Amino acid sequence: QLQLQESGPGLVKTSETLSLTCTVSGGSVSSSNYNWGWVRQPPGKGLEWIGSISYSESTHYNPSLKSAVTLSVDTSKNHFSLKVNSVTAADTAVYYCARLSRWGDLYYFDNWGRGALVTVSS
């Protein structure tokens, strides 16, 4: 059974880089059947799509975050990662990693990690 687990610092200082890793078990990040992505949720607020990456490392990013975000895949460690540069308090959120599977014509977020709270503070 597929499991996704986010890991990384729970506290990041303002203007520094937020880095999270999503370790995949029960599946392979190098599979051509799936893409991988990140969604965040500020405390008490709604979901925000951050971006997605394919097994071939083709990426798509939220236009409002694009200049600050980088996604990558490490097939040797079977994990994928998120970096957000120059963070502010507005980047405080629960960060979810997720698998995207093909349903019909598109890839949808069908399997999610439990989420990791990252707080940005000076």
Partner 1 sequence: QSALTQPASVSGSPGQSITISCTGTSSDVGGYNYVSWYQQHPGKAPKFMIYDVSNRPSGVSNRFSGSKSGNTASLTISGLQAEDEADYYCSSYTTSSTWVFGGGTKLTVL
Residues that bind partner 1 (CB under 8 A): 39, 45-49, 52, 60-64, 96, 103-106, 108-115
- Spatial distance between the Cα atoms of 32 and 114, rounded to a whole number of angstroms: 24
Give the pair of three-digit tokens for residue 122. Answer: 């000076």
Query: Least Å distance between CB 71 and partner 1?
Result: 13
Torsion angles phi and psi, residue 68, rounded to 5:
-110, -10
Query: Least Å distance between CB 66 and partner 1?
Result: 9
Specify the residue, 79 or 113, whose C-beta has the smaller distance to partner 1.
Answer: 113
Specify the residue, 13 or 45, whose C-beta has the smaller distance to partner 1.
Answer: 45
Q: Are 2 and 98 in contact (CB under 8 A)?
A: no
Specify the residue, 18 or 100, whose C-beta has the smaller distance to partner 1.
Answer: 100
- Spatial distance between the Cα atoms of 51 and 113, rounded to a whole number of angstroms: 15
